[in-house]
Amino acid sequence: MTPDAVGTVPASRRRAVVWISIVAFVILVGIAGALLSGIGTWTERDRLDPESVGPGGTAALVAILREQGVAVAVTRDRDETLRLLGAAPTTLVMADSPILGDDALREIFESATDIVLVDPRARGVELLFPGATAGGFAPAETVAPECDAAAARRAGSVMPGRLLVPGTSGAAGCYPAGDGFGLLIGAGADRRVSAFDGRGLITNNDLASNGNAALALNLMGRLPNLVWYVPALTDSDVATEPTLGELTPGWVTPAIVLLGASAVAAALWRGRRFGPLVVERLPVTARATETMEGRGRLYEHGGDTVHAADALRLGTLERLRRALALQPAAGATQIADASADLARISHRAARRLLIEDEPHGERELLALSDGLRTLEAAVARGIRGENPTRPDDTERDDPERDDAER
C-alpha cells in the first residue's frame, strides 16, 4: 500500500481496528486463563481420587486391594457411605475435606471400624486423635519406621510428606522426622485408626517406590470391606456464607438509592436535549492564499529554506505530472526528463531545478521559485505546440550531451 493510500484511510476505521484488536486480545487472554484454570481444577479434583488413572490418582492401589480380596466400594454420597459403613465391619479411607463440617465428619468416623485418613489436616487430625496436631513437612529422604506398629515395620522405609505431632493423644508415631512423624496409629480392641500424607505415597505415580504399596495394603487391607469416600458438593453441611446484603449496614441501601436519584435529577436538570442535526456555519472561512502565506511566513521565520524549496518542488512536480498526463506513480526523475523534452532544455538542468539543488538563503530560494515558474510556463507552451523560450540561455540544446546524460 502506498503512503497516499494509507493517508486516505478514514480515522474512524483506524480507531475501529484498534478497538477490535484490543477486544480480541482480551478475549484470547480470558480463554487462556479459563483453560489454565480448568487444568488446575481438574488436577486438584483428580488428586487421590480412587477412580483416577492419572499420576495423582489412586486407581492402581484400588486395583491391588481388590486383587488381595478386599471388596472396595468408591462412594461420592454421604448417605450411601453411612449405609455401607453400618452394614458390616468396614475400613473407611478418605481425605480431610473442607466440604464437610465437624459434625458430619465425626458421624462418618464413628460409623467406621478402621479409619485411614490419607490427606490429614489439622481439623481431621484433631477429630481422630484428640490432642494431636498437623506439623510441617519432612525432608525429601527415606525414613525408617522406628516404631512398634507391625503395619509400618513390615512395610519398611518410606518418604513421608506432611508431619503429624501426637501431642497428648497417646497415638503411636512412625517415620520420625524433625518434631513430628509421617504416620500416626491409634489401635484399640477392635479398631485401628491411622493418618498419613498419601499424596507422595499411594498415588499411581509413587505407589511402586520404597515400601509405599506395602504400607497402604497393611493399613487398608485388615478388613474384607473397604469404603473409599470422596465427598461431593451436595454432601456439604457447612452453613452458607452470608450474602453482601446481609453484611451491609441497613443505612447503606437507602443512601445508594438517594445518591442514584440525585444523579438522575442532576442529569435531567443540566443535561441538553439532543435535537435534529443542523448545519452550523463556520464563523471564519480561510482562503487558500492566506494559508499559503501563513506557511511561508513560518518557513521565513524559521529560516528553513530547504523545506520551503521542497514544498515548492512538490507542488510543481504534481502540476507537471498532470499536465504531462503521466501515471500517478511516476517518479520525480521521470517527470523532470519529460518536462525537459517539452521545454527543450537539458535533462541535467531540469533535474537540478526539480530535484537536486538546495537553496542556502532567501536569494537562492527566490531564484529557485522563479526557475520553477519559468519551467512550468515553458512546458505549457510546449504542450500547446508553441516555440518555448528557454528558461536558461546557458543551457543550450546539445543532442550529443543529452544522449550521454540519458
What pLDDT, in 10s, does the model give residues 11-35?
A: 667 777 777 877 787 787 777 666 5
270's grid cell? 443540566
Query: For residue 91, is pLDDT > 70?
Result: yes
CA distances from 26 to 13, 15, 29, 110 (A): 20, 17, 5, 52
Torsion of CA 137, 143, 149, 155, to 10 degrees: 120
CA distance 93 to 224: 13
Q: Using pLDDT thresholds of 50, 70 and 90, give the confidence band for residue 225.
A: very high
CA distances from 355 to 315, 334, 351 (A): 12, 11, 5
Q: Using pLDDT thresholds of 50, 70 and 90, give the confidence band for residue 391.
A: very low
CA distances from 216 to 68, 170, 227, 281 (A): 12, 22, 14, 90
CA distance 125 to 144: 22
Q: Which amino acid makes up residue 376?
A: E
Query: For residue 242, is pLDDT > 70?
Result: no
% pLDDT > 90, the chain = 33
**Whether 186 contacts 243, CB under 8 Å:** no
Query: For residue 284, is pLDDT > 90?
Result: no
295's enclosing H/E stretch is helix 288-302
Q: Using pLDDT thresholds of 50, 70 and 90, give the confidence band for residue 72.
A: very high
Whole-number average pLDDT of the chain: 81
Residue 260's pLDDT is 86
CA distance 170 to 165: 10
The pTM of the full predicted model, rounded to 2 decimals, is: 0.51
194's enclosing H/E stretch is strand 192-196
Query: For residue 209, is pLDDT > 80?
Result: yes
Residue 84's pLDDT is 94
Residue 205's pLDDT is 92
For the chain, the C-alpha Rg in angstroms (whole number) is 46
Q: What share of the chain is helix, strand, coil (3-state, %, to 5)?
A: 50, 15, 35
**Whether 72 contacts 59, CB under 8 Å:** no
Give the lowest-confidence range in 24-28, 85-89, 320-324.
24-28
Residue 193's pLDDT is 93
Q: Using pLDDT thresholds of 50, 70 and 90, give the confidence band for residue 246.
A: low
Query: For residue 403, is pLDDT > 50?
Result: no
46's grid cell? 483428580
**Which has more confidence, 289 or 399?**
289
Q: Write b or e for each residue in 120-132: b if 16 or more Cβ atoms lie within 10 A of its Cβ, otherwise e.
A: beebbbbbbbeeb
Give the lowest-confidence range in 78-92, 122-136, 338-352, 385-399.
385-399
Q: Are strands 91-95 and 225-229 parallel, antiparallel or unpaired?
A: parallel
Helix, strand, or coil (residue 320): helix
Give the lowest-confidence range in 100-109, 193-202, 204-213, 278-287.
278-287
Q: What's the pLDDT tens digit per position in 117-162?
A: 998 888 889 999 999 998 888 888 999 999 999 999 999 999 998 9
The 3-state secondary structure of 92-138 reads: EEEECCCCCCHHHHHHHHHHCCEEEEEECCHHHHHHHCCCCEEEEEC
Query: For residue 281, is pLDDT > 50?
Result: yes
Residue 354's pLDDT is 87
Residue 114 bridge partners (DSSP): 91
Residue 225 bridge partners (DSSP): 71
DSSP letter at 61 equals H
**Which has more confidence, 401 or 266?**
266
Residue 164 bridge partners (DSSP): 134, 181
CA distance 195 to 95: 10
Query: For residue 1, is pLDDT > 60?
Result: no
Query: For residue 7, is pLDDT > 50?
Result: no
Please name the residues in contact with 270: beta carbons below 8 A apart, sequence gap of 6 or more: none
Residue 196 bridge partners (DSSP): 183
Burial class (CB in 10 A: 0-12, 13-18, 19+), 216: buried
Angle at 22 between CA 20 and CA 26, to 5 degrees: 115
Q: Which amino acid makes up residue 2?
A: T
Residue-level length of the chain: 406
338's enclosing H/E stretch is helix 332-343
Backbone angles phi, psi at 360, to 5 degrees: -120, 35
**Whether 198 contacts 118, CB under 8 Å:** yes
Q: Using pLDDT thresholds of 50, 70 and 90, give the confidence band for residue 176.
A: very high
